[in-house]
Structure 1
Amino acid sequence: MTPLPSPSDRFRLLENGEEYFPRVFDAIARARESVLLETFILFEDEVGHKLHAALVAAARRGVRVALTVDGFGSHDLSPAFIRGLADAGVHFCTFAPRPRLLGVRTHIFRRMHRKLIAVDAEVAFVGGLNFSAQHLYQFGPLAKQDYAVEIRGPFARQVHDFLVRAMPGACPPPPLPEPAAGRGRADPRTHAGAACLVTRDNHRHRNDIEFAYLEAIRAARRDIIIANAYFLPGYRLLHALCEAAARGVRVRLLLQGKPDMPWVARAGGLLYGHLQDAGVQILEYVERPFHGKVAVVDDGWATVGSSNLDPLSLSLNLEANLVIRDAAFVRHLRDQLEALIGTRCRAVPPGLKQPRSRLDALCAALMFHFLRRFPAWAGWLPAHAPRLVQPMPGGRRHARRVVVLRGGAE
């Protein structure tokens, strides 16, 4: 499927795997110098094998190829699959692998949840799609609805430069020059310029994505649409959304109506009454599981990325969102979300999910206090030094060679 082009010539919105995967594979096939890729999930299904073939082909023709997967999300890759990449020259790493305990994956905290790709520092992709057939409509009723953005031109270098820092040894020195003023450079504190890659780690950038949302919500004058898979935001975001609705901003939340994790939807539903009392409109996507992490505010602000608005993404995971200040792209994303709202969503009537018992009321109160305190509590949860681990010669899954990442590229 050929995606409809976004009105912007720098940013192209990609919806679902039918649009995303062909663009990624085409960019890799055209690569001349480097392909850098991070993903939370890589499965050995039809999509994973196509990616494997594309990366192997690029490496064999002399392109520098680096791939990092998360040790929690991509825990079942076979030794043969990994060995095929390594033998072709792909710089393959697993982020923070941990042994299982009685068959259970123990490293749910501090996951590398980013989905980033940079090709030749000229084209990049940022979004929420993993490399899995679950993002294709043909997967069936559990196929996920999701979004990514393709970036071309100088703004793609932000993603490339970040991945160079996040993948030690993948792209050796000399260091890359700073982009010229006005050509893709952005202040991460003010998000000046047409686009800025905003990341979250557990060191110097703990709250950057949350603050980007807060800045946009507090500045909103007319309209906010937040479409997010797992909506259980911190107290500051809840308060900002209610304040925006109180001052006359139309605030709409597009959330899961057919959740793939029902307990998450149940917890988020405890907040519906409070938000609706403040004037926030809540809509649920009912066709299939919603996996998107996008938002638009007024006519000049949008974000597409990997970060959910829940405690894991906002306080624990390593995440990456692109904040875009491009009126044409914002308008296009808004139109796509409006179409989704008009055809595949249902409005949640006020009072439908109000506490029905004293127990529900108690749970709602506890949820508010949990969200207020969770960012501080997150530091007490199990943590480990983030590591990139390479496979050993001979096919063993993980190597003794360990790279410990610190600083902004954690």
Structure 2
Amino acid sequence: MSPAAPRKRIDYLPGHDVQLLQGTQEFFPALIADMDAAAHSIQFETYIFDCTATGQSVADALIRAAERGVDVRVAVDGFGTGPVPKALRDRFQTAGVQLQVYSAVGQLSLLLPKAWRRLHRKLCVVDDETMYCGGINVLDDFYDPNHGQLEFPRFDFAVRAKGAVVELASDNMDKLWWRMRAVHDVRKRQISRAVADLKAAGAAQGAAKRSAAKVKGMRAALLFRDNLRNRARIEKAYLRAIGSARQEIIIANAYFLPGRKLRRALIVAARRGVSVKLLLQGRYEYFMQYHASRPVYGALLEAGVEIFEYAPSFLHAKVAVIDANGERPWATVGSSNLEPLSLLLAREANVVVEDADFAKDLHERLVHAMEKAGQPMALEAFTSRPLRQRMLDHIAAAIMRSLIWVTGNRY
């Protein structure tokens, strides 16, 4: 039995109020209410900004805020969102919403590995007081850009938080915003303005207080993944929490292709008697993500890990809860999948919470999803799946390994 891994390396801060939100049915109303109450600023980042159905309500809230004088900044990913529709750009510009596109995609740009570094996190900070973080895009739960209308809602989570992590989010978003502005200015040959923007980014970073009020409340941390100083923080947080598990691990992850360390950690936990349950994507969404993950299932099932495939709709969650009923409950909600694009390339953000009530809330929702909408996978059925499917699985896995090698990473 391996010794428990310490968790103290994460800077948990006290005094937080963190609320779990499931799906856009809970997320959008809370987000819009805070946007409508905003007095001076809204910082917003998302991978996908789609105005179909209820997605339009978020765009409208941002426009209303800008029209009454709130400083509204919106950053979207150039691949996830694609070209921003002219009608929305015009409405934003007229209202005063500031819009930037992270790493716009050209016809051949995705052939370059550096273009695979996407802005995948979903963050919003309102008036430097309230933060939203999770896996939910601006995308109606009953609509998918590639598959059209959905019969059942997408399964996903976010959190609404108050406390010291809000300032950490605001500072990080501010730095990225000014760096994006500087890159834009250099491309436009506005060199003096680019220098000014970089100085603004440095000033924003230096202004961070990095302090927490010593008051009662939840202990929480905000973890970023980027390609500079925070390359492996989210993965290491998972590894430490899994290594410390005593009773139960439940992970719900949309695109699940863990690297060697994560796979071994889950196998070791299961072999030492921890109940390990995975709720994973059960519906075909993308070739690579669907097939490349399956070759790793065999070793997990053999070790006693239970795998449930979510069937009613697309599973998009990136959450985990460990020892929810134990002495040291741990939970995380964020944007990071447990696969190489998230853990090696993309900008991600996860909130980690050490609180019994929060952990139990997430635990109950995940158990309900597994029991009511999850299809358990048996080892015998997995090993006897059709030859064609096994071939596709191994082809996709080989392609994924090749792509990882091209980026110069090991996984």
The alpha carbon displacement at 1:336 in A equals 0.9
Q: Give the 3 Å change call, closer, same or farther, for CA 321–135 of structure 1 in structure 2.
A: farther
2:251 counterpart of 1:222: no
Which of 76, 80, 88 lines up with 1:81 in the alignment? 88
Unaligned runs of at least 5 residues, structure 1: 1-7, 185-192, 382-410
How do 1:98-113 and structure 2 match up within 5 A? Answer: 98-101=105-108, 109-113=116-120
- 1:93 is matched with 100
Q: Deviations over 1:221-266 (max 9, x none)?
A: 1100000011111111001100111111110011111232254222
Which of 151, 161, 165 lines up with 2:161 in the alignment? 151
2:192 counterpart of 1:163: no
The alpha carbon displacement at 1:351 in A equals 2.1
Aligned residues: 364
CA distance in 2, matches of 1:334, 1:139: 29
CA distance in 1, matches of 2:54, 2:386: 46
- Give TM-score scaled by structure 2 length: 0.80
The alpha carbon displacement at 1:375 in A equals 6.2
CA distance in 2, matches of 1:129, 1:266: 23
Instruction: Identify the range of structure 1 (130-139 vs 194-203) with the bigger mean alpha-carbon deviation.
Output: 130-139
The alpha carbon displacement at 1:366 in A equals 8.7
- 1:12 is matched with 19
How do 1:267-306 and structure 2 match up within 5 A? Answer: 267-299=292-324, 300-306=329-335
The alpha carbon displacement at 1:325 in A equals 1.2
Q: Give the 3 Å change call, closer, same or farther, for CA 296–71 of structure 1 in structure 2.
A: same
Q: Give SS of 1:270's match.
A: helix
Q: Deviations over 1:336-372 (max 9, x none)?
A: 1111112111211122112668998898889889888
The alpha carbon displacement at 1:38 in A equals 0.3
Letter of the 2:32 partner, please give it.
F
2:42 counterpart of 1:35: yes
> Is the contact made by 2:164 and 2:212 (CA closer than 8 Å) also made in structure 1?
no
Q: Deviations over 1:173-197 (max 9, x none)?
A: 676451434559xxxxxxxx81111
The alpha carbon displacement at 1:78 in A equals 1.6
> Is the contact made by 1:39 and 1:113 (CA closer than 8 Å) also made in structure 2?
yes
More helix by percentage: 2
The alpha carbon displacement at 1:91 in A equals 1.8
Q: Give the 3 Å change call, closer, same or farther, for CA 377–99 of structure 1 in structure 2.
A: closer
Taking every aligned residue pair, what percent have the same amino acid on both sides? 36
Q: Segments of 4+ in structure 1 off by > 4 A? A: 104-108, 135-139, 169-175, 181-184, 355-377
- 2:133 is matched with 126
> Is the contact made by 1:37 and 1:68 (CA closer than 8 Å) also made in structure 2?
yes
Which of 327, 333, 346 lines up with 1:317 in the alignment? 346
2:178 counterpart of 1:178: no
> Is the contact made by 2:23 and 2:157 (CA closer than 8 Å) also made in structure 1?
yes
Q: Deviations over 1:353-395 (max 9, x none)?
A: 12668998898889889888986653379xxxxxxxxxxxxxx
- 1:206 is matched with 231
> Is the contact made by 1:35 and 1:120 (CA closer than 8 Å) also made in structure 2?
yes
- Give TM-score scaled by structure 1 length: 0.80
CA distance in 2, matches of 1:373, 1:99: 23
Letter of the 2:282 partner, please give it.
G
CA distance in 2, matches of 1:77, 1:363: 34
How do 1:345-384 and structure 2 match up within 5 A? Answer: 345-354=374-383, 378-379=407-408
CA distance in 2, matches of 1:380, 1:155: 30
Q: Give SS of 1:353's match.
A: helix
> Is the contact made by 2:164 and 2:211 (CA closer than 8 Å) also made in structure 1?
no
Letter of the 1:149 partner, please give it.
V
> Is the contact made by 1:293 and 1:306 (CA closer than 8 Å) also made in structure 2?
yes
Unaligned runs of at least 5 residues, structure 2: 1-14, 182-196
> Is the contact made by 2:116 and 2:345 (CA closer than 8 Å) also made in structure 1?
yes
Q: Give SS of 1:10's match.
A: strand
Which of 311, 330, 342 lines up with 2:371 in the alignment? 342
The alpha carbon displacement at 1:310 in A equals 1.1
> Is the contact made by 2:281 and 2:314 (CA closer than 8 Å) also made in structure 1?
yes
Q: Give SS of 2:407's match.
A: helix
CA distance in 2, matches of 1:77, 1:181: 38
Q: Give SS of 1:45's match.
A: coil
Q: Give SS of 1:194's match.
A: strand
